[in-house]
A = this chain, B = another copy of it.
Amino acid sequence: MNARLDPPTVGIKPLRVVIDGRNQDLIEVIDRGLQYGDGLFETIRIHAGQPCQWRRHLERLMLGAGRLGIQPPDPGILEAEVLSLTQTLDHGVLKLILTRGSGGRGYRPPESSAPRRILLTYPLPPDPEPSWRTGVRVRYCQTPASMNPALAGIKHLNRLDSVLARREWSDPAIAEGLMLDPSGALVGGTMTNVFLWDGNRLLTPPVEQSGIAGTVRALTLELAVQMGIDCLETRLAPADLEQAHGLFLTNAIAGIWPVRELAGQRFDLNRLPWILLDRVQQSAHTPG
């Protein structure tokens, strides 16, 4: 299907694409996912042929479907489709998209629509593993994160803010860019959640106005509480980050990225709570 595209435009092609249970890589142009970004997605790490943190991804997808009023897929059918794709792949990435389907005039969804399940698998990107111990370099982005309490937290398909923020740099030495909301509050990275360690407590921005409630973010908070570490969801500004003992980023594919440098400021990775980070990193790559 890509024959007519020049090689540079193809980028990383999916290994397999399955739409509503069938091998196909074309979709109706009237799908509302394309027309309005009317849908949701999950990006899931595949480890030893299994989707990691599947329950959390499924829960967030279901939560998002409830918020958008999209009929959720049957979890059994979805899981069977997911497993049939992951089982043939030792390591990799699964992207799962749920759109509201085709139809309706304008913004108004049709009264009964048939949501579409799109599954794509990709090879694992090369960068996550080395960055886990050595840390990553991070910058600030100029592009603000979009603010909307009705859309915050869920992983919907309206991701132009992250696309524009990710366009701001091409230096491969910079792993991630941090985004602020229009009021100047930290939201997260273009594809990560951010945690600040102040020596005693774990602080992270809330996801009520902006941002995405990441699966590894939830895992980090859960494990920290289990370990007796105080956690606080609170407004953070760049000035707070400057005072931090350490920072780390979370993401379903990478797990944890400790931050060794932010906008020129260096952080001593030894000051991070590695007992927690180790547990999160291990759990993030655990199937189920």
A→B interface (CB under 8 Å): 1-2, 5-6, 8-14, 17, 19, 25-38, 41, 68-69, 97, 99, 101-114, 118, 120, 122, 125, 143-151, 156-167, 170, 182, 190-191, 209
Contact = CB atoms under 8 A, between A and B. Distances in A.
B166 A106 contact: yes
A210 to B, nearest CB: 9
A27 B25 contact: no
A102 B11 contact: yes
Contacts of A160: 36-38, 68, 151, 156-158
Given A157-B37, A209-B182, A105 B125 contact: yes
Contacts of A105: 11-12, 122, 125
Contacts of A122: 105
Contact of A29 (B19, B36, B111, B151): B19
Contact of A148 (B11, B111, B146): B146
Contacts of A13: 30
A106 B112 CA distance: 31
A201 to B, nearest CB: 28
A107 B150 contact: no
A25 B31 CA distance: 10
B148 A106 contact: no
